[in-house]
Chain A
Amino acid sequence: MNLFRAAGMVVWAVRSAAACALRARIWVPFLVIAGIQILALVIVMNFHRGLLTPLVVPVIKGLSGPGVTHYPNFYLLLPVVFSRLSLLLSVLVTCIMVGAAIVLFAQAFGRAEHLKPWKTARKRYPALFIATAILAAGLFAVPYLGRLVPQETLLENSMVRWAARGVLFFLSILFQSLLVYAAAWILLRNEHALRAVGDSMKLTRSTFVPTFVLVALPAVLLYPLGFLSSRSDLFLNKFRPEALAGIILLQIFLELLFGFLLVGAITRIFIYQTEEAA
């Protein structure tokens, strides 16, 4: 696919998704995801209160180590805790909402009109769970590749540090791009999890540039916030540590908007590539 056609496809897919912005039904799954994330954040931030302590402490310790229960260490580690918890929630719960959103978008594009979005997503939960678990495992593993670079070199050389960050960022986008169509294969083509993962990779290969750009765009736009929350030491010195929770809330809000466009655009490309282009 040449670059002009790829660029045209990205613009067309995003415009198609944006055209659905006034359909309130489609927003529901994304609002539920944001609601779950906010609830999780509130629960995690209140881990020190009586009833929540026994339930939340083992979880946050498991996600980021024993030092997390100290102040202000907790806020230093909050971005890590929250990103890992979100990943866990995406596998356990929010994959259903993403599934429902794909069906709702497909219906908006005139397909799968006979399907009931929420019921279909719930019915296909095991397959969605497996596909999302594979994606989450990959995304969880990517940062660990950074350990291949000697720690001393990373600390001493800022060029190496930024190059390592760039490579890891690229790899995580690549991995997401390869699996981004898996849920659509599961819900709209009724495939089982592993076959859907395989077919998603094939579809990504045939539409590599537009798919990669679509996945990369929100990731790039959200990168400054992610970077800022990873430099939580700055917050400790300049503001109150609690300000990090504000950054995470902003991240949740932006993910809501970008998630809507990404799922819509990906569904549009999926339908086009599997039906119209053929």
Chain B
Amino acid sequence: MKRIQALALAFIACASLAACAVDPDLGTRFRAERALWDANAEVQRLSIRPELVSEATWHKAVDMFSAIPTQYPVKGKGETATELKTVHAHALLSAARIYGTLGDSVSMLDVYARIESQYQDLPVVTGEVAFARGRLAESQSDWTGALAAYQEAMARVAPRSGDPGVAGAIIELPLRMARIRVMASHDSTMAARHQAYREAETYYHGMIAKADTLTALDARAYMADVAADQNEWDEAASQLKALEKMLGGMKPPPRDPASARLALSQLEVRSEAPADEVQGTLRSLIKDYPESPFAAQAQFALAYSYTQNGNTDQALAALDAVAGTKNVPEDLAGQALLLKAQILDHTGKWTDAQQILAALPVDHPLSEAALLAPIEVVRHYERAGDTEGAQAALAKAETAYRDFLNRYPTGPVSVMAQEKLARTLAQEKRYDLAVAEFVRLGEALGQHPAGAQYLAAAAQLALQQLGDTTRAAEILDRTATQYANRKVGQWASQEAARLRKGPQ
């Protein structure tokens, strides 16, 4: 009996010691992390078909995130308490992101203000808020606000390449800020441009010298962009060559060294270097990195360059090489076939071109080129002055887009297909249907800026082609409701009012 008592006392003593050692926030932090996971999973689920989700459901998701800090309060002061506060802040950031998606920038800024006041001791979180504020300001063309917010984000968060969070995005900011300064200054002289890029240059030079290898590699790539933006082509080329050399010396390289060579060829195109020089760089890439996925891209770029020079035989050979490469991305394979069809059409081999254009939607159904193929047929008949053929091709294009949308009703390629359908209908002069398609597309895109463009296009068609002022005003009203907190929404509201008043 005494032995059992002694054992029980020893157990209680051990348990008490353990209780002192364990942080009081540990269990709460675990439950808060679980609640955040659940809320994120819910948002992911809703994001599969966002067009089917009501605003009330999104607000419920916001509530899930916003409730986390109050449901799981911080008790202690240790490391776990900081982790728990980070969970709170991330939950609020997610809530702000949903407000952003809903276009409710007022609530979004409220949440940001709450984070900034409550989590000042978490630099990564406040840095993320500053970064988000910068993006918002940039989208509203508030250049001064954007520059100040980005500067704050950079001061709070150290850059770390490859990081999926804000630390991974920080390294791009000096270049972005320099571009904003150029845009904001309205001074197109080279001296003003140099002035705008000076800070970025100093920053990237410092990064190349100091940072860990991955960040230094990224800094070199951005340094090339900085130089190219100032038309300092030799400096940009030398940075890209140094980048390729660094990548080539690493085992395994964090990025394909061929990417730097491809960037060099793009730089040459941008600097309007002679075609021979561009083609030489692309050929050297194909020779030096035959197994690289960038080799197929280089072949396509080479084909494009040959086409520009009128060298169709070599262009066709390069395009065949793209088709012969293993595991070519769907889009690149489609683009290569489309370019081949265009070359064949221009060289009078319409039957061969037609075969390729007919096969494209079958062989690469989800590529952009497959959606452009029916339009290419229409263009051929228009160029040939064959009105009947063009009309028939337009009808075929319409059927092709409708078939595609039946098979793939959602996704980014479907948005493209719907846009092409609307434009085809407009070209067929079936304006009523075209307006309906543009409206459907604009509404489906929710808060995306492109949605406003499609709604505006629908209003314009209704007004100019159908002469239906009431319908145009209605569409503009819908745009105003959909983009209530944005400039475009205000513009649409004013335009609708102007239309209703009639010509002054």
- Could you tell me which residues of chain A, from 71 to 106, have a CB within 8 Å of some CB in chain B? 71-72, 74
Is A48 a contact partner of B27 (Cβ separation < 8 A)?
yes
Q: Known contacts A71-B37, A72-B37; is A55 also within 8 Å of B18 by CB?
A: yes
**Is the C-beta of B6 less than 8 angstroms from some C-beta in chain A?**
no
Residues of B within 8 A of A (CB): 15, 18-22, 26-31, 33-34, 37, 41
With contacts A47-B27, A58-B21, A70-B33 known, what are 13 further pairs, Cβ within 8 A?
A: A47-B30, A48-B31, A49-B27, A53-B26, A54-B20, A55-B15, A57-B22, A69-B26, A69-B29, A70-B30, A74-B30, A240-B41, A241-B37
B31: A residues at CB distance < 8 A: 48, 71
Is A54 a contact partner of B34 (Cβ separation < 8 A)?
no
B28: A residues at CB distance < 8 A: 48
Which of B26, B30, B31, B34 has the most C-beta atoms of chain A within 10 angstroms of its own C-beta? Answer: B30
Query: From DSSP, what is the main secondary structure of chain B's interface residues?
Result: helix
A54: B residues at CB distance < 8 A: 15, 18-22
Query: From DSSP, what is the main secondary structure of chain A's interface residues?
Result: loop
CB-based A-B contact count at 8 angstroms = 44
B18: A residues at CB distance < 8 A: 54-55, 57-58
Is B27 a contact partner of A50 (Cβ separation < 8 A)?
yes
When chains A and B are docked, how far (Å) is the Cα of A50 from the Cα of B15? 13
- Could you tell me which residues of chain A, from 45 to 67, have a CB within 8 Å of some CB in chain B? 47-50, 53-55, 57-58
* Min CB gap A148→B, angstroms: 23
When chains A and B are docked, how far (Å) is the Cα of A47 from the Cα of B22? 11
When chains A and B are docked, how far (Å) is the Cα of A74 from the Cα of B27? 12
B37: A residues at CB distance < 8 A: 71-72, 241
Can you sample 7 A-B contacts with CB below 8 Å? A48-B26, A48-B30, A54-B18, A54-B22, A57-B22, A71-B31, A72-B37
When chains A and B are docked, how far (Å) is the Cα of A70 from the Cα of B86? 13
B41: A residues at CB distance < 8 A: 240
When chains A and B are docked, how far (Å) is the Cα of A206 from the Cα of B55? 74
Q: Pick the contact of A53: B27, B33, B34 (CB < 8 A).
A: B27
* Min CB gap B371→A, angstroms: 31
Is B26 a contact partner of A57 (Cβ separation < 8 A)?
yes
Q: Give the nearest-CB partner of A236 in chain B.
A: B37
A241: B residues at CB distance < 8 A: 37
| Bitwise interface map of A from 17 to 49 toward B, beta carbon under 8 Å scored 1, else 0 | 000000000000000000000000000000111
B34: A residues at CB distance < 8 A: 71-72
* Min CB gap A236→B, angstroms: 9
